């Protein structure tokens, strides 16, 4: 699976997840992956080689469906990017659009201890494989999205309240399944985040987001002071267009 060079917004009412075997690696590719991973860890000691559901393929399923193929892997497989002739492995992640009642959207800036310090993005994260032989399905993605929203922003939105909204494919082939959360008062969103920060720092931990912001969809990332994920501008623009038609 290769990058597209641009962000794609994929409208598909149906998503099917299919588990596949992890890509086989030659000794040379494994050595290159391990070497690149060790270099990345030296540059950012906070990196953790934990389990991930790596994306190995994306196909259309008729006119209104997508098939996402995934494999059990670890974060170090990301180091294969840029290795000549290595198997293509992309990220599978979930994100949540959390609107305030005044129409803005919540975004967060990744802390220094994360894989992308200083980067603005929607709440969310890389999908982890289920335990044992359990399969991965849309409900599992929804639960993961709700958990990420709570861990990063202090939100109390239940998984069942999240509506699947859109699927994106980024410039490097990574695929994100987007969910829409119920709107909340802006003050409540800010208060929840402040309480989360107080709890995390009180226990000696750094929050995953070192800042949050509520941005106007019509302005998008232009309101942010720093880099942002590749999908953010396109997703926020789509949200603004949808809200304008509502």
Q: What pLDDT digit, counting tens, does each position of 214-234 carry?
A: 999 999 899 999 999 999 999
Q: Which residue has the tokens 């494919």?
A: 169
What is the C-alpha to C-alpha distance for residues 205 and 1, in angstroms, rounded to an integer? 36
Q: What pLDDT digit, counting tens, does each position of 79-101 carry?
A: 888 788 888 789 999 999 999 99
In CATH, the architecture of 8-245 is Alpha-Beta Complex (3.90)
User: What is the 3-state composition of the chain as percent helix, strand, coil, each rounded to the nearest 5?
Assistant: 30, 30, 40
Q: What pLDDT digit, counting tens, does each position of 106-138 carry?
A: 999 999 888 888 999 999 999 999 988 888 999
The alpha carbon torsion through 20, 84, 76, 128 (nearest 10 deg) reads -30
The three-state secondary structure class of 149 is: helix
> Is a pLDDT exceeding 90 seen at residue 213?
yes
* pLDDT (0 to 100) of residue 88: 78
How is residue 168 written in tokens?
């994106």
At 26, the pLDDT band (50, 70, 90 cuts) reads: very high
Query: What's the whole-number average pLDDT of the chain?
Result: 92
At 74, the pLDDT band (50, 70, 90 cuts) reads: very high
pTM score, whole prediction = 0.93
* pLDDT (0 to 100) of residue 132: 83
Across the strands, what pairs with 95? 124, 178
> Is a pLDDT exceeding 70 seen at residue 157?
yes
**Domain extents in the chain:** 8-245
Contact partners, residue 193, CB within 8 Å, separation at least 6: 153, 154, 209, 212
* pLDDT (0 to 100) of residue 2: 52
Window from 12-16, 44-48, 158-162, 191-195 with minimum mean pLDDT: 44-48
* pLDDT (0 to 100) of residue 31: 95
What is the C-alpha to C-alpha distance for residues 132 and 124, in angstroms, rounded to an integer? 23
């Amino acid at each position: 699976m290769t990058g597209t060079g641009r962000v794609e917004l994929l409208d598909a009412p149906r998503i099917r997840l299919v588990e596949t075997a992890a890509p086989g690696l030659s000794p040379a590719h494994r050595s290159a992956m391990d070497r690149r991973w060790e270099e990345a860890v030296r540059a950012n000691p906070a990196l953790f080689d934990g389990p991930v559901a790596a994306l190995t393929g994306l196909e259309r399923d008729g006119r209104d469906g997508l098939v996402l193929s995934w494999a059990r892997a670890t974060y170090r497989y990301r180091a294969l990017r840029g290795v000549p002739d290595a198997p293509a492995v992309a990220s599978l992640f979930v994100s949540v659009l959390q609107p305030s009642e005044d129409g803005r959207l919540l975004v967060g800036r990744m802390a220094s201890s994360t894989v992308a310090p200083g980067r603005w993005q929607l709440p969310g994260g890389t999908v982890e494989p289920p335990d044992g032989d359990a399969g991965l399905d849309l409900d599992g993605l929804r639960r993961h999205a709700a958990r990420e929203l709570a861990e990063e922003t202090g939100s109390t939105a239940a998984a069942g309240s999240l509506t699947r909204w859109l699927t994106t494919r980024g410039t490097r082939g990574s695929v994100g399944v987007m969910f829409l959360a119920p709107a909340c008062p802006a003050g409540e969103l800010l208060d929840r985040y402040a309480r989360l920060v107080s709890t995390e720092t009180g226990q000696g931990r750094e929050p995953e987001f070192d800042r949050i912001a509520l941005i106007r969809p019509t302005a998008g990332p232009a309101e942010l002071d720093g880099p942002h994920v590749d999908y953010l501008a396109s997703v926020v623009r789509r949200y603004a267009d949808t809200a304008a038609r509502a």
